[in-house]
Amino acid sequence: MKDYLIDTHAHIDMLLNEETSLSDVLSDMREFNVKKAIIPAVEIATQDKVAELSKENENIYGMIGLFPSEAKTYTSEFESKMEEIAKSDSKIVAVGEIGLDYYWDKSFVDLQQEIFRKQIQMANRLDLPIVIHDREAHKPCFDILKEEKPQNGVLFHCFSGSVEFMKECVKEGWYIAIGGVVTFKNAVKMKDVAKEVPLDRLVLETDSPYLTPVPFRGKQNKPAYVRYVAEEIAKIREMPYDELVDITTSNAERFFRI
């Protein structure tokens, strides 16, 4: 029985400043029984920082990858650098967060798709799973994944689709990550997904410092708060909290091989 939580998506590098250290983040995690956290990369400048933070503590892991809105900065040299980081560092456990974002800017969707494909192909070369950012781009994301055939697992970070789309993803064997949005009173669609997603394909996350769950909504999010996500989903599914923790933690450890 796994009796601790894992935050599968926490931008810990964005939390650190003169007032907050990694030790502070870890202390909060211990208080809330969150043992492990995984840091995604989003920009060229953050790859090294993520790798450094993952080496500072045995329970912190990292990803390499470029966020879709940063697609214009992608180069072959950068791709080579990411591959070098992953090959030399066993604490890099996925390629992410990668994918498509049609919410902010649709002016370069072709480039977003090209870079998404390149990073899936890189993940296959590196024998790593991928973590997907999909915002208002469900069908193109799905189609590209089907075409590129990622070989080591797919996880939809901060899932925002319908129950029907979730079921299509699960049919492919992909995983669904749910975060703080599920605690929002008006998040009906997300609560429905949380109720219907097969338990063996569910993991938890915070996306800290964003999307802070109730009762801290409006304040900065942190990995410790993944506990509130777990509590809300257990309530929605009318199942014991400890059972949900055991299942989602086991799923995360299996997916990321940690």
For residue 93, what are its two tokens?
């456990």
**189-214, pLDDT tens digit by residue?**
999 999 999 999 999 999 999 999 99
How far apart CA 133 and CA 152 sit, in angstroms, is: 17
pLDDT for position 105? 82
**151-164, pLDDT tens digit by residue?**
999 999 999 999 99
pLDDT for position 104? 81
Contact 85, 48 (CB under 8 A): yes
CATH number of the domain within which 128 lies: 3.20.20.140
- Report the domain count for the chain: 1
Give the pLDDT band of residue 122 (cuts 50, 70, 90): very high
The values of phi and psi at residue 90, to 5°, are -70, -10
Q: What percent of the chain has pLDDT over 70?
A: 100
Q: Domain range spanning residue 104?
A: 5-256
pLDDT for position 30? 98
**73-119, pLDDT tens digit by residue?**
999 999 999 999 999 999 999 999 999 999 988 899 999 999 999 99
pLDDT for position 218? 93
Instruction: Record the pTM.
Output: 0.97
